[in-house]
Structure 1
């Protein structure tokens, strides 16, 4: 299985639980890349989507995407813009959301254009399995925003009590819930 981890705002491949997840999945025989999104403290939609074109490219039934925060809306927009037909084995969205959020107003321009419901429906039809993981006390992405996106995607959900935004400075250098979700989707 090819697994790509797409980080979010002001993060990098070596941050949070990303290296741990990549190491665990590689040990299981998967090809894993934590995609280095450019200039993550000043993200550009065009640059981030171009990076997905270059690093991920074509997706198929042997491809799985794991996203965190801003990486989720980026991946959803990127998938929605892909010419049909395509398939994707699964999407695991951690602290996913799609519209502006009060804690990070500097992303308002990036998030100003919400996903069209028809685009979301098209993505859902092409993605075999969708999982949303969120925390009950996320101070960056309100849990309600993650739940709303998961509902829109028809995703199975998992709430992690006390998980915050799943950042290393909140104690998250490992995230077993994501590993379990990915393992379920790779069986």
Structure 2
């Protein structure tokens, strides 16, 4: 069986060195799991086509591929998986959404393409959503709707904010624990 590999897809205005990304990478690599933090193009002026193309060009896919999406990285990941009908082993979506964000119209273009939710449910057997009840960028209700649409369990964090470094999210133990469980259950 192939070894598990994890791809982290960051969000709007983020980079590979932000928040908890490198901590998750270092923690998993200690256990022999390859982790790739993708440097999504032009994150301050994101373009849906450019982001999906970047994923297509930079992900080496196997049946042991797992994804972590954060914020805009979630919808970008869903567009990519849907467009190419890919079947990863699992995904964890953090502070994700499927509806326009009232305060960030720059991201509306990511919500124009139709996504087959039944197709994603069929193609991605292990799904988990994590949201913060006090998220000030993506309202928790939108993350709940994402979890419901994907028929995915949701972990509600009382005071996670938007899971940014400035919200004190330099580490993310619950994410790491759930991802390890997801990977172990495959072997």
CA shift for structure 1 position 124: 1.0
1:55 aligns with 2:58: yes
Query: What TM-score do you get using the length of structure 2 for normalisation?
Result: 0.93
1:54 Cα deviation (Å)? 1.1
Equivalent in the alignment of 1:152: 149
In structure 1, the residue matched to 2:10 is: 7
Aligned counterpart, 1:172:
169
Change over 3 Å in CA distance of 1:81–1:109 after alignment to 2: closer
2:6 alignment partner, SS class: strand
Superimposed CA distance per residue, residues 74-124 of structure 1 (whole angstroms, 9 cap, x where no aligned partner): 1101111114xx42110100001022112312222333x1644xx111111
Q: Identify which of 120, 132, 135 aligns with 1:135.
A: 132
Instruction: Tell me the residue number matched to 2:79.
Output: 77
* Structure 1 residue 71 displacement after superposition: 0.5
Structure 1: unaligned runs, 5 residues or longer: none
CA separation in 2, counterparts of 1:132 and 1:8? 15
Paired with 1:132 and 1:107, the residues of 2 have a C-alpha distance of 20
* Runs (5+) with no aligned partner, structure 2: none
Preserved CA contact (<8 Å) 1:98 1:115: no
TM-score w.r.t. structure 1 length?
0.93
1:41-74 deviations in Å (ceiling 9; x for gaps): 000111111110111143x320100000000001
Distance 1:184 1:98 in 2: 26
Aligned to 2:118: 121
Given candidates 14, 19, 23, the residue that maps to 1:16 is 19
Q: How far apart, in 2, do the equivalents of 1:42 and 1:16 lie?
A: 19
- Report runs of 4+ in structure 1 exceeding 4 Å deviation: none
In structure 2, distance between residues paired with 1:161 and 1:38: 32
Q: Distance in 2 between matches of 1:20 and 1:103?
A: 29
Asked if 1:41 corresponds to 2:38, the answer is no
Q: Tell me how far apart the structure 2 counterparts of residues 160 and 62 of structure 1 sit (CA, whole Å).
A: 28
- Equivalents in 2 of 1:102, 1:153: separation in Å? 22
Aligned to 2:183: 186
